[in-house]
Amino acid sequence: MNIRHRTGGAGAVDIPPALGKAMADYRALLDELENGTIDEATFRHRALRVGLVLREQDAWILDLSTERWWRYDGVALSSLRFGDAEG
């Protein structure tokens, strides 16, 4: 599975396994919210935990308002749209 950096050229990068799991967990949360099995407060609480992926060399943060993933590498932020990872 590959995603393209919005701020970094046209080259694709591999999704770290932890980020791939977070994306899948977020999609599952959206499904639960849409199916009415959780309320909005529960969704927000669980999305906060799902939307932060800390690794040794970087951190990934999900901006729920735009469904954009942000990567911070200790120097700069780069962003990815959640939908870029599909297909």
Buried residues in 36-61 as b, exposed as e (16+ CB within 10 A)? eebeeeebeebbeebbebeeeeeebe
Mean pLDDT, residues 32-59:
94
Backbone φ/ψ region at 31: left (φ over 0), alpha (ψ -120 to 50), beta = alpha
Q: In this predicted model, what pLDDT tens digit does every residue of 53-85 receive, in sequence order? A: 999 899 999 998 888 899 999 999 998 765 555
Does residue 14 surpass a pLDDT of 90?
Answer: no
Query: What is the pTM for the complete model shown?
Result: 0.69
